[in-house]
Copies of this chain bind each other. A is one copy, B any other.
Amino acid sequence: MKIETKIAHFSSPLYLESGRILEPYEIAYETYGELNEDRSNVVLVCHALSGSHHAAGVYEGDRKAGWWDGLIGDGKAVDTTKYFVVCSNTIGSCFGSTGPMSDNYPSHEPYRLKFPVVTIKDMVRAQMQLLSHLGIYHVRAIIGGSMGGMQALQFAVDYPNFADEIISLAATYATRPWTIAFNKVAMEAIRKDPRFEHGNYERGAFKEEGLDGLAIGRIAGHISYLSPETMDKKFGRNYVNNDGLFELFGRYEVERYMEYNTANFSRMFDPLSYLYIVKAINTFNLSRGYDSLHDAISRIKAKVHLISFGTDYLFFPCEMEHIAKMMERNGQPFSYKEVESDYGHDAFLVELDKFEEDIRRVLS
């Protein structure tokens, strides 16, 4: 199938949790499969911090498939011969939806630091607008991992009648200080980088040479996405071949991995977007706006499927379990599975074989 990014334009305001307004705004999205006549076959997929609306398929002339291509496609767990799959870029991101480097209408100057803080709740509200724009008022399922899993849960709480099934992987009910601390490395490293210019850098400034601060922050990110066990298997104490053990800047393989991956990332991701999305993750708290977490969870009417990963050092299994136990006590329909994995938090992106059958079953 031909994969195309579409842009939906909205001239009506998006009311944000902060009390501020985003107006106008755009949402970049992709769809896979065909919408059936009674519009009852929609699956919404939500992406994580560094992801985008490009969840599946390969662009013409491109080589790399979407970030969950192993899961979404004809005959796959999210079967596009049956389902109409929608994935959109979250507001605040830098892949086509309105974010801090978008025009601060009516000027043609970017918002930069004038962009309003957005939250997971806001991301969810924007997606509701998109779906309504597409004539979709109910979906079969909402699926996401990490920040995508937060969105799936937020949908379940804020719009109890909107989805039949919620599948949330490697997420939490509220971001813990441990994760906020990891994000702090990125926030400080970006802010303190002189080339960040307090947010006043030019568009495209980092296309050739990425922002060091973002690359440094991303090292902390990668630590939290892996686990000690993964790193042992993946790198061990192997040293880079041509580096000297007694050279100060000689590198272990894990260091080369960090350098390579983070340098690439800092060329393709906008640092302001990174700050805004990280802020959205930090402020995520399912109970905000409700009397308590219990109150928020009790609102849920969809069947919720929680999947955690044993070696996830960013959002620990106990966090998903906390939700599961609460739903159990409430007598709400749910399932909980802790996947044994050595891949840490990243397992939701790489160890698809460990949970694709669960997703297939939910959707069948």
Q: Which residues of A contact B (CB under 8 A)?
A: 17-20, 113, 116-117, 174-178, 180-182, 184-185, 187-189, 191-194, 212-213, 215-216, 219-220, 222-223, 226-228, 231-232, 234-237, 245-249, 252-255, 258-259, 275-276, 279, 282-283, 285, 316
Is B316 in contact with A177, judged by CB distance below 8 angstroms? no
CB distance from A325 to the nearest CB of B (A): 17
Q: Say how many copies of this protein the assembly contains.
A: 2
CA distance A174 to B17 in the complex (A): 49
Q: Which residue of B lies closest to A233 (CB)?
A: B177
> Are B192 and A194 within 8 A (Cβ)?
no
Q: Are B188 and A219 touching (Cβ within 8 A)? A: yes
How far is it, in angstroms, between the C-alpha of A297 and the C-alpha of B193 when the chains are bound?
A: 45
Interface residues of chain A: helix, strand, loop or mixed (majority): helix
Other-chain residue from B180, B247, B249, B252 in contact with A254 (beta carbon distance below 8 A): B180
Count chain B CB atoms within 10 A of each CB in A181, A254, A259 and give the residue with the most.
A181
Q: Chain B contacts of A237 at CB under 8 A? A: 174-177, 285
**Cβ contacts under 8 Å, A235 to chain B:** 177
11 chain-A/chain-B pairs, Cβ below 8 angstroms = A116-B246, A117-B248, A181-B219, A181-B255, A184-B219, A185-B216, A187-B255, A188-B258, A189-B189, A189-B216, A192-B212
Which residues of the other chain, B, contact A285 by a CB distance below 8 angstroms?
237
- How far apart are the CA atoms of A246 and B118 in the complex, in Å? 8
- Asked if B181 contacts A254 (CB within 8 A), the reply is yes
With A185-B185, A219-B184, A285-B237 as contacts: A177 and B246 at CB distance below 8 Å: no
Between A191, A192, A227, A234, the greatest number of chain B beta carbons within 10 A of the residue's beta carbon is seen for A192
**Closest residue of B by beta carbon distance from A116:** B246
Tell me the smallest distance from the CB of A294 to a CB of chain B, in Å.
Answer: 16
4 new A-B contacts, CB < 8 A, other than A17-B246, A184-B255, A188-B258, are A117-B246, A176-B232, A191-B249, A220-B220
